[in-house]
């Protein structure tokens, strides 16, 4: 791999040297034409300077540089106006508004350059077709036009300046390639061995930018979590829920994955988190569920049923459905700590005594989550809230960033994501809106 990186660096340098030599040759040819066409001395000097070479190039073809600049400025201004107009009109007509003028402008530029090249060749006693070939093979055709009737001495100051502009950047590139070849080899070795810590340190060292280093660290941290949880979910996929031993292993692994995902979700981006939760729900759906209709055995010593909570303690906000409109999701109020429904028991505690609260059924289905689930961050702000029904997620579930800003809000039906998912950045800006159907993204 080290030899491959070194060969790639050598190729880059070879291409750079060839490009620099062609630039110098073209500049020398342009200077020769400027001198043979008796242009002023400053025009011959400008032939060696990139961009400013436009002046002697146009003058050697008998063009008017002032008109060229006015036309160029008008063309750029026109495109700015067309861009603004396309943004106002909308994407439907933007291709037509910008595309046709752009095509016309491109054809006009090709015609103008071809005319200049034709006249440049014609003025030096060469066929105009050779000038047109210069549009494709500029250094060679242009060099023939310039030197077919004799060479001239290059401008010493211009040659020195041209060489500096052509080869100066190659020095920095050469040093960079020499330094990065070894670093890239170490990065590739770290990537091949799966050592994310080493990969992170090598990439951070290569960037030398604090902001970029922070972004790399965050991205690699999230990548490590995603790889770890993804591997556990893949292992669960291979287990058979019909085997009692494998079923118990599945339950423990999925519970562990859910706990880790909920605890470390702030380190993941919204899309990765969504995908992991989708995989987790798919595996959880393979677990056999106890029937909610199993009758509760009655005994003489059975305690009286608990009293249902008053209507005023019902969850706040309208019931969510898979077809809920976008505004209903955004406006859905989530109770901070709602009461448990009839026939369930409250577990956990709210801050400062705990970080989770949830309800589970009593009786034969004891332990099955049924009712509201709420989780808080260490700073006391809510991290996750939603409703379980017979052990499956239903309705609208909401996640927040540690700073209290809403992060993700999504609809569920029978444990699967079904409806609209909306994600926001830490600044509250919407970054994703996606329709789901039975746990999978759907085209809207």
pLDDT digits (tens, 9 = 90+) for 216-270: 556 666 677 888 888 888 888 888 888 888 888 888 898 888 888 888 777 776 6
What's the pLDDT band for 77 if we cut at 50, 70, 90?
Answer: confident
For helices 65-89 and 91-123, what crossing angle results, to 10°? 170
**Mean pLDDT value of segment 409-437:** 86
Find the mean pLDDT for residues 387-409: 88
In this model, does residue 290 exceed pLDDT 80? Answer: no
Residue 31: how many other CB atoms lie within 10 Å? 27
> Comparing C-alpha atoms, which of 267, 216, 224 is closest to residue 401?
267
What's the pLDDT at 368?
85
Tens-digit pLDDT profile for residues 15-50: 888 888 888 898 899 889 888 888 888 888 888 988
Q: What is the pLDDT of residues 87-106, one digit of tens each?
A: 776 655 666 777 788 888 88
- Domain residue spans in the chain? 2-169, 194-286, 318-444
**Torsion sign (Cα): 183, 189, 190, 191:** positive
Question: Binning pLDDT at 50, 70 and 90, where does residue 153 land?
Answer: confident
Interior/surface letters 48-59, b for 16+ CB within 10 angstroms, e for the rest: bbeeebbbbbbb
pLDDT at 164 over 50: yes
Instruction: Answer yes or no: CATH 2.60.120 is held by domain 318-444.
Output: no
What is the model's pTM? 0.42
Phi, psi of 288, rounded to the nearest 5 degrees: -70, 135
What is the model's pLDDT at position 213? Answer: 54
So what's the pLDDT on residue 325? 36
């Amino acid at each position: 791999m080290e030899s491959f990186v070194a060969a790639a660096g050598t190729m880059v340098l070879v291409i750079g040297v060839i490009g620099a030599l062609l630039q110098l040759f073209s500049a020398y040819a342009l200077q020769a034409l400027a001198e043979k066409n008796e242009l002023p001395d400053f025009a011959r000097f400008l032939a060696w300077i990139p961009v400013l070479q436009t002046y002697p190039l146009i003058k050697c073809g008998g063009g008017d540089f002032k008109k060229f600049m006015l036309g160029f400025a008008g063309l750029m201004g026109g495109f700015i106006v067309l861009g603004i107009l396309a943004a106002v009109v909308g994407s439907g007509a933007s291709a037509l508004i910008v595309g046709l003028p752009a095509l016309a402008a491109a054809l006009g530029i090709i015609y103008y350059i071809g005319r200049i090249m034709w006249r440049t060749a014609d003025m030096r006693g060469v066929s105009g077709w050779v000038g047109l070939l210069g549009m494709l093979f500029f250094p060679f055709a242009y060099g023939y036009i310039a030197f077919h009737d004799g060479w001239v001495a290059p401008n010493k100051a211009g040659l020195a300046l041209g060489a500096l502009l052509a080869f100066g950047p190659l020095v920095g590139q050469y040093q960079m390639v020499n330094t990065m070849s070894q670093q890239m080899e170490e990065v590739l070795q770290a990537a091949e061995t799966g050592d994310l810590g080493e990969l992170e340190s090598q990439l951070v060292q290569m960037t030398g930018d604090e902001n970029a280093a922070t972004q790399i660290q965050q991205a690699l941290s999230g990548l490590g979590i995603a790889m770890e949880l993804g591997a556990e979910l893949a292992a669960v996929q291979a287990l058979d829920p019909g085997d009692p031993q494998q079923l118990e292993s599945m339950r423990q692994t999925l519970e562990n994955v859910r706990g880790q995902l909920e605890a470390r979700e702030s380190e993941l981006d919204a899309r990765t988190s969504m995908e992991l939760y989708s995989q987790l729900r798919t595996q959880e759906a393979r677990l056999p569920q106890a029937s909610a209709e199993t009758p509760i055995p009655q005994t003489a010593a059975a305690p009286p049923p608990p009293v249902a909570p008053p209507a005023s303690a019902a969850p706040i906000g309208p019931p969510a459905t898979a077809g809920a409109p976008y505004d209903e999701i955004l406006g859905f109020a989530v109770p901070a700590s709602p009461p448990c429904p009839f026939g369930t028991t409250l577990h956990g505690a709210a801050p400062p005594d705990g970080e989770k609260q949830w309800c589970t059924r009593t009786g034969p289905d004891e332990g099955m989550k049924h009712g509201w689930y709420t989780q808080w961050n260490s700073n006391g702000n809510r991290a996750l809230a939603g409703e379980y029904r017979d052990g499956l997620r239903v309705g609208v579930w909401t996640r927040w960033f540690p700073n209290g800003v809403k992060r993700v809000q999504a609809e569920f039906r029978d444990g699967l994501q079904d409806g609209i998912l909306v994600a926001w950045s830490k600044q509250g800006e919407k970054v994703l809106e996606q329709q789901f159907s039975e746990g999978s993204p759907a085209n809207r």
